[in-house]
Structure 1
Amino acid sequence: MATPPAGSAEDPTGAQLLALHRSGRLLSEYPRVRSLLDGVSGPALARCGQLLSRLDPDDVLREHPDITTVTMAVTGHSTLSLLMPSLTAETARHGLLLRPHMADFDSYVFDLSDPDSDLYAAGADLVLCVLDPMIVFDELPAPWTADDAERVLAEKLALLEQLIARFHTVGRGTLVLNTMPLPSRYTAQLVDHRSRARLGALWREAGARLLRLTETHPRLVVIDLDPLIAEGLPATDDRLGVYAKAHLSSQLLARYAREIGHLARHLTGRTKKALLLDLDGTLWEGTLGEDGSGVLDGDGSTAFRSFQRVVKQIGAQGVLLAVVSKNDAEPVREILRDHPDMVLREEDFVRITANWAPKHDNITELAGALNLATDSFVFVDDSPYECALVAGAHPGIAVVGLGDDPACHAWSLLRDGWFDTLELTGEDRTRVAKYQQELVRHDFLQRFDTIENHLRELRIEVRVGAATEPEVARVSQLTLRTNQFNLTVERMQPAEVRAYAETPGARVLAVHARDRFGDNGLVGAVFLRREADTVHIDNFVLSCRVFSRGIEQACLSEVLRTAEAAGAREVLGRYRRAAKNGTVKDFFPRYGFKPLSDDGTNAAFRHDLGDLVPVPDHLHLTPDNGGDAP
């Protein structure tokens, strides 16, 4: 069936974008694009991407300088022009502006091996090297055997390992490869089943070897195409493959672009942190009665339990789970505690909010209690009415509306990869417990008439020292996921944190905190660099869990003290304005730094070390033998 053209009646989002384009208002109203693309997928999204790709990114930035950009360089063996509209749209639907660089046809070896190539000159955040099966089959003799395929596969894997090593030496950002599908038109060319089985085994072994390269190359991501093809997508298109040298289908490339959009969202600090769940019709069947009966007893009980298993799996990996439901609190808690068929239990949630207040108001209260912005939440509900209310009240929140069939709930939640991350850390495994402690702290605060008395009774202890190798992944995660207290919003992969720390004259300080309620863990990092008698604070990030407790002041006090003790003459600080870090715009002036320059985006400040910032009286600071200034 032919797909409707962009702007047709069957494509209402495309019609709106086309109307904006034709009226000359698409550039001026570009911030609307994110909301217009909400819920659009498949061919309709690619058509929207075709319209958006006509805009010059520089023009968009001049009109809307606060938009976050992501630069992508695309290279490969085949024709990849079909990928660009989907990439443009997938990044736009996450509020990002794509800066693309498309390499020449079949240039991936040159692009990645030559340090002077245009690909490296692009300085891309993401380098997409799109692999297809013809990388192997184009080099087989005629006739060929499984032995020939084994030889070429080994040669290609060896080549790819060389290219990955070169990228890690020369390039920046993240390199993305992918596994290659095995088209049946090639297995069918081997008429004996034993040879077909051998080719399949060789192909899968090569894919597994490619996937395992991520274990030893920290700036490499490998997208596994097999799960995407298992969704029912065609891997190839025979006609496009023969006539246009496009060796992956447009449907598969669009689905691949969706994965890249999720990755770009994470690398720009937009990974979601908390999953807020309705109950009736979402986690269980029907409406909870006062006696708590019937919630998992109907025909859909198996599907609802399956969805609960998915939610529990997500929560076990550091995602905060919370209930936001219109119900009476005690029956809800009884069900979560006592119902024999419940997979999720009371202790799985950082907070259970069950009352009859508007859900968007409850979400506001929860955000304050957790010290998180609402745009770090994903809200899931089966009611279109509630979804619309929450989306209207909290524009940055991700709203997942569920359909009538509970068997589809899990994929409705998972398909947008809201919680995708490059790597889990030890902190992720304990995050739920730490936020549960955080809510106890929040409730503890209500007992005091002043913040000062509350902080004093918290008995905060702060430890500052040089980041160790096991802490590098967590420090990287803080730069990637922290938006509010992130002075320069510079995102760093573990390898970049490690390289910074190993630079002569530089040091990365790790900030740990604990109090009467428990250990907060590694909550912050300070990036310091010394040049002559000047110490530069290149960045300072602090988890939103520990805002407004004087920890930032204690860290700055330690930096200034050690700089003075090491004979420095001054400390320079840097602040870069971004969409979400306005709360720290006056951080340096607040503690005695004088302004040096400000171009509207980047500001510089200087402290002459004449009047040092004191450690707050209510906390105890312990330098950890690594707190000396560079």
Structure 2
Amino acid sequence: MTLSELHGSGRLAASYPLVRGLLAELDDGELERAGRLLSRLDPDEVLRAHPSTPVVAVAVTGHRTLGPLLAPLTAELARHGMLVRARLSDFDAYVFDLGDPKSALYEARPDLVLCVLDPDTVFDEVPVPWTAEDAERALDAMVARVRDLAVAFGGRTGATLVLNTLPLPRRFTAQLVDHRSRARLGAAWRRANARLLELGDEIPSVIALDLDPLLAEGVPAEDVRLGRYARTGLSPALLARYAREVGHLARHLTGRTKKALVCDLDGTLWGGVLGDDGQEGIELGEGLRGEAFTAFQNVVRQLGSQGVLLAVASKNDPGPVQEALREHPGMALRPDDFVQVTANWRAKPDNLRDLARDLNIGVDSFVFADDSAYECGLVRHTLPEVAVVRLDEEPARHIERLLRDGWFDTRELNAEDRARPARYREEKDRHTFLSSFDSVADYLSELDVRVRLAPVTGAGISRAAQLTLRTNQFHTGMLRCQAPQVSEAASGPATRVLGIHSGDRFGDNGMVGVVFTRRAGDTVHIDNFVLSCRVFSRGIETACLSAVLSDARAAGARAVEAVYRPGPKNSAVRAFYPDHGFTVTGEEDGVLTFRHDLSDPAGIVAPPPHIRFTESLEESR
């Protein structure tokens, strides 16, 4: 079944979950055609059939014509299982759109605002004839204008504003006949682009996309005929690649960032077949192909250093695999780089399911990389939630294929990210420790679980936002928050953001959860309660809820109210509040509201006896 066949039969909306798989192997031209078809699809029709489908509201504004961006944008979000509600602004409307809080852009309440900048954003302000100095003044004015607009936008909305660097086409530099002037223009242009990129550090609501890496791959900056006659600023090919980068960002904002990279070995991390060729015969480290495989391993290791969980799923005997990983001189990856190495002769989908269970994450957190078309097809068919990277017999292309879709892209990297692999290795030690006890109660008693529940400040803002974006199972309110929104809630007079930190005899888990509360009169509202899957089933959620209830009562509140919003994976926490003494007060469209009367302190559930608080909420006030 193809996309065109689904559309022609009127079943495209009803079959929308199939779209991701249908788009997975399309080339750029096919994807463009698919985007044009999908852009005619009514998101509401899809939502009626599949109400849990993530929807991203995107407003597109800029200096020139941007209609050609909508089709690739629709296709890129569909590739990741999302829907887009797009609003396209008028020609050259970005100053009004971002500067006027009463504009239609603000009224649309977008999640993402794409302010697409192009070279004519500058050169339309340059007189004729012009000099390098004229262009430099226009560049400075443009950057200052964009910065002012971004600051104002960030203060008015919780949306993310996406800016981009500007290409410098030769049709402008060549108008300067002396090389010194061309060099001056190039230097000024690069300084302006650097300032645009730095706005992402200065203004929390801003993401700045660097277009230079895309141009370096040979993507044309502009189409001169479309630029002249259709008034486009960037080429359709560049807008399509821009849309791909936005798709990666949207995937992250909807909590769909991948967490683990699972690699095959033979033909993937090294050349040859270990079982046939032996350790001495595999291609790795020496020769042109061997160097290519080592280069690929270095990229995999680089990803692992930034918090991506690395694992192996290979059809091999385990002994030779471990020996090769430990001893082969060309190996960039060693056993300690992986959270798990699985080498056996079982079907790879079965091994992926077991790995997900062992790591306590969903299979939809996996990226699976393999050179075998059969294995890739089997995983894609059996586990459609897994992102499959199909490699081939040319190792020089492995890096490009792995990085093409930015599976692990995140808005900001923090210390918790870098420590993640070590945390999961500690988790394996906990499972081994558990197996030595006859009961879970005895295990928890000896685990020495320590919890700190305290207001989030400073560097913790980023981590708290990340937890709301990446946690899908224990997530009661399903509120995805960016760092500016967390910061606003953390500093509000009636709102609090409480970070949950945990540790035990095996190590410090860092910030593993966050609770958003809001005081209204004599009632405290729990707007969101998020807990990482890494620390499930240890009583931490009960201990923290008990602390919130006790603290609310001590502060004079008469009741605590809470909410549960259904998401695609959080059904397990639907009963969380009723199980802890809350009563249901309402239900609408699956959203449940609860209330806990604080008049009787005995009605507050006690924290589990094996939990030890290292800091109380009263101490942190």
Q: How does 1:353-432 map to 2 (within 5 A)?
A: 353-432=342-421
Shift of 1:88: 0.6
534, 540, 548: which one aligns with 2:523: 534
Of residues 207, 213, 220, the one that matches 1:221 is 207
Residue 606 of structure 2 is aligned to residue 614 of structure 1: yes
Equivalent residue number for residue 279 of structure 2: 292
Q: Does the Cα contact within 8 Å between 2:547 and 2:617 map onto a contact in 1?
A: no
Q: Which residue of 1 aligns with 2:46?
A: 60
Q: 1:275 Cα shift?
A: 0.5
What pairs up with 1:178-217 in 2 under 5 angstroms? 178-217=164-203
Structure 1: distance between partners of 2:136 and 2:550: 62
CA shift digits 1:83-133 (9 cap, x unpaired): 000011111111111011110111011111001000111110000000000
Shift in Å, 1:628: 7.0
Contact 1:379–1:397 at 8 Å: present in 2 too? yes
Aligned amino acid, residue 34 of structure 2: C
Q: 2: distance between equivalents of 1:41 and 1:266?
A: 23
Q: Cα deviation per residue 1:27-84 (whole Å; 9 max; x = unaligned)?
A: 2222221221112241211211111111222222223211110000000111111000
Residues 615 and 621 in structure 1, CA contact (< 8 A), matched pair in contact too: no
Deviations 1:224-260 (A, max 9, x none): 1110111111110110011110121100000100000
Give the drift of 1:330: 2.0
Paired with 2:42 and 2:132, the residues of 1 have a C-alpha distance of: 48
Structure 1 position 532, deviation (Å) = 1.2
The 1:39–1:472 alpha-carbon spacing in structure 2 relative to 1, beyond 3 Å, is same
Match among 270, 274, 287 for residue 260 of structure 2 = 274
Q: Does residue 615 of structure 2 align to residue 623 of structure 1?
A: yes
1:143-172 CA distances to partner (integer Å, 9 max, x unpaired)? 111011011101111111111111111232
Structure 1 contact 510–526 (Cα < 8 Å) conserved: yes
Whether contact under 8 Å (1:179, 1:223) holds in the other structure is yes
Contact map agreement 1:285 1:298 (CA 8 A) in 2? no
* Deviation by residue 1:377-400 (Cα, 9 ceiling, x = unmatched): 111111111112222222211111
Q: Deviations over 1:366-385 (max 9, x none)?
A: 11111100100111111111
Q: Which residue of 1 is the match for residue 228 of structure 2?
A: 242
1:401-451 CA distances to partner (integer Å, 9 max, x unpaired)?
A: 101100000111100000000101111111111110011112222223332
What SS does structure 2 have at the residue aligned with 1:172? Answer: coil
Residue 30 (structure 2) aligns with: 44
TM-score (structure 2 length as normaliser): 0.97
- What is the one-letter code of the residue matched to 1:524? G
Q: Provide the residue aligned with 1:33 in structure 2.
A: 19
In structure 2, the partner of 1:140 is 126
What SS does the corresponding residue of 1:293 show, helix, strand or coil? helix
Structure 2: segments with no counterpart, 5+ residues: none
How far apart are the structure 1 equivalents of 2:373 and 2:267?
Answer: 12
Deviates more, 1:549-558 or 1:288-297: 288-297
Shift of 1:534: 0.6
Give the Cα separation in 1 of the matches to 2:124 and 2:454.
55
| Separation of aligned partners in 1, 2:139 and 2:451 | 53
Tell me the amino acid that sits aligned with residue 569 of structure 1: R
CA–CA separation in structure 2 for the residues paired with 1:59 and 1:355: 45
2:116 is the counterpart of 1:130: yes
CA distance in 2, matches of 1:235, 1:388: 35
2:161 match: secondary structure:
strand
Question: Is residue 2:306 matched to residue 1:317?
Answer: yes
Whether the 8 Å CA contact 2:275–2:316 is kept in 1: the answer is no
Query: Residues 448-470 of structure 1: CA distance to partner in whole angstroms, max 9, x if unpaired?
Result: 33322222221211111111222
Q: Which moved more, 1:51-60 or 1:508-517?
A: 51-60
Partner of 1:584: 573
Give yes or no for contact 1:509–1:627 (8 Å, CA) kept in 2: no
Distance, in Å, in 2 between the alignment partners of 1:41 and 1:457 is 55
- Structure 2 CA distance, aligned partners of 1:179 and 1:619? 50
Tell me whether 1:349 sits opposite 2:338 in the alignment. Answer: yes
CA RMSD of aligned residues (A): 1.4
For 1:47 and 1:125, the matched residues in 2 are separated by 26
- TM-score relative to the length of structure 1: 0.95
Deviates more, 1:294-303 or 1:274-283: 294-303
Aligned to 1:5: none
Q: CA deviation at 1:299?
A: 4.3
Alpha-carbon contact 1:46-1:85 (below 8 Å) kept: yes
Unaligned segments of structure 1, at least 5 residues: 1-12
Counterpart-to-counterpart distance in 2, 1:625 and 1:61: 41
Identity %: 57
The answer to whether the 8 Å contact 2:517/2:526 transfers is yes
1:204 corresponds to which letter in structure 2? R
Q: Secondary structure at the match of 2:459?
A: helix
